[in-house]
């Protein structure tokens, strides 16, 4: 997969801090140093005053994730999406994500490629027979890759990272979220310093279902 940060609110940390200052000042504040903004943001996050984080938005281009992962991503309702349409785009040479568990198993990998090849050939044949793309696409497996434009504010991104970077989330959406987090940490470090599942800075709420391992990138 390829993930890039294509746009974001200019000076996201200063913007968030100015929004917060509005709540606590008699007059509108127009200036705050980056250093003070970063300290204030950490206090705001600790206090749970997260609504001010909605003033900073981030837009990503996401290329080459499976429809499995994109379906998980679009369940997050407080974000905006534009996704490649298989009604309009014919997939003459589709790519497919192969899960590592299948890729490393010789027999499973051979079976996987065989069935994908069969689906692909049949899809192409249906198009030749005059079937519309929107109907032929019913044959495309969930592993087929897709591209999205995805925008969300910092509060929603933190929520998504909390759920989807957890070891209990699936490997592909974890990888996607890790790449997004790495990008936003560069431009808004104080907002995303403690981003990740609850075990990053507290107790795992998963109870019996907990993986029992504190979170780290390689898990
Ligand atoms: C490990 C894992 C396994 C999952 N397994 C399944 C599964 O088996 N089946 C399944 O269907 N889904 C599953 N999901 C998806 C999950 O149920 C949520 O749909 C998805 O994570 C979006 O989360 P959300 O609703 O909290 O967030 P968002 O849609 O991102 O919303 C953010 C927050 O806004 C608030 N909010 C948003 N919309 C409303 C609303 N209409 N009313 C009130 N408050 C709202 C809530 O506080 C919500 O937490 C799974 C998710 C994870 C992380």
**pLDDT per residue as tens digits for the range 104-135:** 999 999 999 999 999 999 999 999 999 999 99
Confidence of residue 216 (pLDDT cuts 50, 70, 90): low
Q: Report yes or no on 87 lying in a domain.
A: no
Greater pLDDT, 23 or 218: 23
Average pLDDT, rounded, for the chain: 93
- From the alpha carbon of 169, which atom of ligand 1 is closest? 1
Greater pLDDT, 168 or 212: 168
Site residues for ligand 1, CB cut-off 6 Å: 75-78, 156, 159, 163-164, 168-169
Instruction: At 113, list the tokens.
Output: 């490629």
| Residue identifier of the C-alpha nearest atom 18 of ligand 1 | 75
Q: Which of 125, 164, 168, 185 is catalytic?
A: 164
Confidence of residue 37 (pLDDT cuts 50, 70, 90): very high
As a whole number, mean pLDDT of residues 184-204 equals 92
DSSP type of residue 144: B
pLDDT at position 28 is 80
* 130 and 187 assigned to the same domain: no
Q: Report yes or no on 91 lying in a domain.
A: no
What percentage of the chain has pLDDT greater than the value 90? Answer: 80
3-state SS assignment for residue 175: helix
3-state SS assignment for residue 82: strand
Confidence of residue 213 (pLDDT cuts 50, 70, 90): confident
Confidence of residue 217 (pLDDT cuts 50, 70, 90): low
* 161 and 65 assigned to the same domain: yes
Confidence of residue 215 (pLDDT cuts 50, 70, 90): low
As a whole number, mean pLDDT of residues 145-149 equals 97
Domain residue limits at 127: 98-139
Q: Report yes or no on 46 lying in a domain.
A: yes
Which pairs with CB-CB distance under 8 Å and at least 24 residues apart come from 164-168?
164/72, 165/195, 165/196, 165/197, 165/215, 166/197, 166/199, 166/206, 166/211, 166/215, 167/197, 167/211, 167/213, 167/215, 167/219, 168/206, 168/209, 168/211
The verdict on whether 164 is a catalytic residue reads yes
3-state SS assignment for residue 94: coil
| 199 and 214 Cβ atoms separated by less than 8 Å | yes
Of the residues 90, 107, 139, which one is the last residue of a structural domain?
A: 139
* 61 and 10 assigned to the same domain: yes
Query: Residue 89: CB partners within 8 Å, gap ≥ 6?
Result: 133
* 156 and 135 assigned to the same domain: no
| Residue identifier of the C-alpha nearest atom 17 of ligand 1 | 75
Residue 24 has pLDDT above 90, yes or no: no
Residue 187 has pLDDT above 70, yes or no: yes
* 135 and 150 assigned to the same domain: no
pLDDT at position 102 is 97
In the chain, how many domains are there?
2
């Amino acid at each position: 997969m390829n993930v890039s940060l294509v746009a974001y609110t200019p000076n996201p940390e200063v913007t968030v801090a100015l929004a917060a200052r509005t709540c606590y000042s008699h007059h509108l504040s127009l200036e705050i140093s980056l250093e003070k903004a970063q300290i204030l943001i950490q206090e705001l996050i600790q206090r749970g005053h997260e609504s001010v984080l909605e003033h900073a938005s981030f837009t990503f281009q996401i290329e080459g994730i499976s429809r499995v992962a994109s379906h998980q991503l679009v369940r997050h309702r407080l974000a905006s999406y534009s996704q490649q349409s298989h009604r309009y785009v014919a997939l003459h040479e589709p790519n497919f994500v192969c899960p590592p568990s299948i890729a490393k198993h010789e027999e499973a990998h051979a079976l996987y490629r065989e069935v994908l090849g069969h689906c692909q050939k049949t899809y192409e044949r249906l198009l030749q027979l005059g079937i519309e793309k929107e109907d032929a696409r019913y044959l495309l497996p969930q592993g087929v890759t897709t591209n999205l434009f995805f925008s969300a504010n910092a509060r929603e991104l933190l929520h998504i990272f909390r759920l989807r970077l957890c070891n209990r989330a699936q490997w592909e959406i974890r990888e996607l979220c890790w790449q997004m987090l790495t990008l936003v940490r560069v431009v808004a470090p104080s907002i995303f310093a403690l981003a990740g599942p609850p075990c990053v800075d507290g107790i795992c709420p998963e109870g019996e279902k907990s993986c029992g391992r504190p979170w780290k990138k390689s898990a």
